Amino acid sequence: MPSSKRHLFFDLDRTLWDFDKNSENALRQIFHEEELEARIGGFEHFHQQYVYQNAHLWKLYGKGKIKKDELRYERFRVTLKHFKIQDESLVRRLSDAYVQISPLQTALFPEAIETLEALQQMGYQLHIITNGFQEVQFVKLENCGLRAFFDVIVCSEFIGKNKPDPAIFKYALNQANAKAEASVMIGDDYHVDVAGALRAGMQAIWFDPSAKNSYAYEHCISALSELLTLIPRLSLTY
């Protein structure tokens, strides 16, 4: 039977863990270690192309159109191909190094830890729902000091369903012994985090650091600290 506690489910990448900053730092290190300047030129050109290709492939992965290993290697393969480099050994080295180095980065969004501490003190149970690769998400949480805040951590590949499929939210609710009407999802992707959680019967908060709120969504924040005043105003039945 679901508990009477209030539950908060967080996305990880681009919500708590600053994916863009951490990814760039990791890519820059790999770029220089592989001495790619001589073959490509400046890092900025490489980074821009990688970001474009990675975003496109993640969308395909989220829709179940490509597999995890395809994503891992293809994003580097097509990036290098843009610079007329076809070197499968290099593709493998870049991909393997990125998966090792990226999760060791520790940049968080401002006030992430302070906000999580305050929410715990307010009596909320905290959890994670992520579409990220399972083997790197736990490393990220440990290295940046977030692991201890969360009771349940659900990675999409473990259950075979990606956000925004309502099945992953319902699975997480079951694992946390939580009621949907007493639970809130917080994430940076409106379609993946917000829309998916709403379809699962939860409430949802859209974290939009740009502060543009392009969807005119009622529960939108641009700083994590805003959760401390917004969440208590939500009507949670528990």
Nearest to 60 by CA among 49, 48, 75: 75
Residue-level pLDDT at 13:
97
In-domain check, residue 113: yes
Question: Could you tell me if 12 and 44 lie in one domain?
Answer: no
Contact 204, 184 (CB under 8 A): yes
Give the Å distances, CA to CA, from 99 to 127, 131, 218. Answer: 24, 15, 36
Question: Could you tell me if 88 and 144 lie in one domain?
Answer: no
Please classify residue 34 by burial: count the beta carbons closer than 10 Å to its beta carbon, then call 0-12 exposed, 13-18 middle and 19+ buried: middle
In-domain check, residue 60: yes
| pLDDT tens per residue, range 156-200 | 989 999 999 999 999 999 999 999 999 999 999 999 999 999 999
Question: Could you tell me if 60 and 160 lie in one domain?
Answer: no
Domain finish residue from 57, 79, 104: 104
| pLDDT tens per residue, range 20-70 | 999 999 999 999 999 999 999 999 999 999 999 999 999 999 888 999 999
Question: Could you tell me if 163 and 46 lie in one domain?
Answer: no
Peptide bond into 164 cis (omega under 30): yes
Contact 43, 31 (CB under 8 A): yes
Which range marks the domain in which residue 94 is found? Answer: 19-104
pLDDT band for position 213 (50/70/90)?
confident
Question: Could you tell me if 126 and 32 lie in one domain?
Answer: no
Task: Give the total residue count for the chain.
Answer: 238
**Average pLDDT score over residue span 121-125:** 97
Token couple for 169: 């939210």
The helix/strand/coil state of 29 is helix
C-alpha 186/C-alpha 160 separation (Å) is: 21
- pTM score, two decimals? 0.94
Nearest to 34 by CA among 103, 67, 83, 70: 83
Question: Could you tell me if 25 and 92 lie in one domain?
Answer: yes
